Structure 1
């Protein structure tokens, strides 16, 4: 009876156990051992990344009144993988994580949302998605009568659907908790979606919602007739010359589905290739892979409720939002993909700098670790611009 009770407890709390330190160092690089997956095959001929190592041991940044080194950043923010591109060159790469390496595939959590955005931009350019003004329900009739009934793709991209999905990881009664349980096999994501009420007029209020991104992923699959993994492989992963297979993990319950907002797993170097693509206006080696206009809208939406500092008290004030990316504002208009537990894909097109940082934070969110990372990466970009 004790063993049975223990097994039931572990089943109910498996997500908490898997994401807690020190276990998360292993789980974040081994999701394929824990969940069903669909592969995103690598390119037949990977795009080479020229390695031009730059010593960053002497570089420091200031945070909370102290000068700190790159090693300090890695230790304080539980970095597992770290790569820096400058002017297209791989100038730094390190893997402080216990199970990390250039061959590891890292669970990227909500950085997946930015990948989904890139795919939506490609589908729009191809005509598979007719318009951003089309409603989600026009592609997904099963959403009729839900909070997503009259929400457009544009609303979803900007996290402004008005649907009251609650993404508070410390609240076990929040919608995100039921979402995670459904992913693990207890219920279905569609059942969770049908419980989400409408709380605001679409397009007027920012509310960070993995369900908005999930609906985007479903729209993409319905519009293209392909799974997220297949579409990502054909339109993005192979064109950028990825060197490793990536994968999406899938819900355990049938019909299995990828998470458009959180189940992409990939190597650090390949994520750097995606960052380089965005830094170069969607072009690599003369091929326009992501539309240039799509990259530009990912750097800022020009909408008051999405500007830096306007997202609400639960969001760090250094962020704005646009097109499933976090914006950093200012004249540079740098932007970043972000995932819980400390995942970053930092893109500064003006400096031609890309930084990938995978991490294993002990908590889902951490304002202090996030702020320190943003301060450090901003300083690193300035350092590289100044000639290192």
Structure 2
């Protein structure tokens, strides 16, 4: 009996330990899933972890014309001349594609779980996709830049979003919330992530934000602004984001593969307009080409020309390159849910945490997709190195003609 008691006691202790471990893992799932090396798997397998809504591939897929070649390009960073191989190694590239003048000229997949068919979690690069959808909805008359967010989402009446317009949300000037700090678990973005993954109420998080500034007066990068924008779009069109993206983007550009949004665990399940889109590198490159060509794909107008132009810079002083403040890199400005780069070419890029880039230079007619698995959400050094490399690559391709 003594041995049996000890055995039962040991089993109880082991069971308690497993239970405690499971609770810890549930509460810290975001930290585990986004840290290296686990994140290389996570960022290509979000559909195994969260509920999803599919964006079906085009019924008439149109593959890129391919003239793939080795890119002879180097860049200067931190006092040293480096190669694209250095970039991939130093910044944990998982997928990389380059399109020049509508032709796929380079494609590689250094990531452990990466491939042409892998669908990559794009994080805040999703915001740029949402922007394109909003531009289409504006052209169709479903929305206006002057629409109040609460006119479409009355549940936000009386919150910090009361008074913010669609235009304010697009330019991250709603006046709601504070600094988006992924290292602070009590920051709005931390509470938002826990609501998304833990089954909590996203609406409660949105309603809890303080008013930090009058709408339209100050830039404050906020994923929650784009969450509101995505929900406004769904309410105005009466269509879930995945279905609207399928009809207005994926079908017109001839996407080869299904994409998807992951959804909140809590009900009503909701796509994240600011961060839950997953797609292949090639299909993401199609969106870049679409924007580089002023909203036209294969002779068909998909995104309004004025919308594509506005995404290169809104002409607002507080959104110009170097004027964003808040510790953000001085090489970026902001407009229309895109990061602007200024200069003669007025290039721009979609960005996502952990190193996701959709680089668009309309003058050089160059699009670069870079997916990555950085060990931290934000990394100024890796960001600066990537910008240096992609700037040099674009210049080289423009020079080659």
Bin for the TM-score computed over the shorter chain: over 0.9
Corresponding position of 1:75: 89
Aligned residues of 1:165 and 1:176 also touching (Cα < 8 A)? no
* Misfit runs of 4+, over 4 Å: none
Structure 2 residue aligned with 1:85: 99
> Please, which of 107, 119, 124 is the counterpart of residue 138 of structure 2?
124
- Aligned equivalents of 1:145 and 1:269: distance in 2? 43
* 1:123-272 matches, cutoff 5 A: 123-129=137-143, 131-272=144-285
Does 1:104 pair with 2:118? yes
In the other structure, the counterpart of 2:297 is: 284
* 1:37 matches 2:75: no
Which residue pairs with 2:3 in the alignment? none
CA contact (8 A) 1:319 1:327 kept: yes
| Structure with the greater alpha carbon radius of gyration | 2
Which of 14, 18, 29 is equivalent to 1:14? 29
Question: Given that residues 19 and 27 in structure 1 are in contact (C-alpha distance below 8 angstroms), is that contact kept between their aligned partners in structure 2?
Answer: yes
Aligned-partner SS, 2:260: strand
Q: What are the ranges of 5 or more consecutive residues in structure 2 without an aligned counterpart?
A: 1-15
Counterpart secondary structure, 2:388: helix
Residue 330 (structure 1) shift: 1.4
CA distance in 1, matches of 2:91, 2:244: 33
Displacement, 1:180?
Answer: 0.3
Deviations 1:196-229 (A, max 9, x none): 0111111111100001000000000001111000
Distance in 1 separating the partners of 2:214 and 2:67: 50
- Find the aligned partners of 1:166 and 1:303 in 2 and give their Cα distance: 21
How far, CA to CA, are the matches of 1:59 and 1:149 in structure 2? 49
Considering fraction of residues, name the structure with more helix: 2
CA contact (8 A) 2:199 2:264 kept: no
Unaligned 5+ segments in structure 1 are none
Q: Look up the match of 2:43.
A: 28
> Over residues 331-370 of structure 1, what are the superposed CA-to-partner deviations in whole Å (9 max), with x where a residue is unaligned?
2110000000000000000000000000000000000000
Residues 73 and 392 of structure 2 are in contact (CA less than 8 Å); yes or no, is this contact kept in structure 1? Answer: no
Structure-1 residue corresponding to 2:367: 354
Residues in 2 aligned to 1:270 and 1:186: alpha-carbon distance in whole angstroms: 31
Instruction: Tell me, yes or no, if the aligned pair for 2:169 and 2:229 is still in contact at 8 Å.
Output: yes
User: How big is the shift at 1:186?
Assistant: 4.2
TM-aligned CA deviation for residue 55 of structure 1 = 1.8
Partner residue in 1 for 2:11 = none
Q: CA deviation at 1:166?
A: 3.3
1:165–1:211 Cα contact (<8 Å) kept: no
Alpha-carbon separation, structure 2, partners of 1:379 and 1:127: 40
Deviations along 1:6-61, one digit per CA (max 9) or x if unpaired, are 111101000010000000000000000000000000001112201112321x3211
Equivalent-residue separation in structure 2 for 1:45 and 1:186 (angstroms)? 37
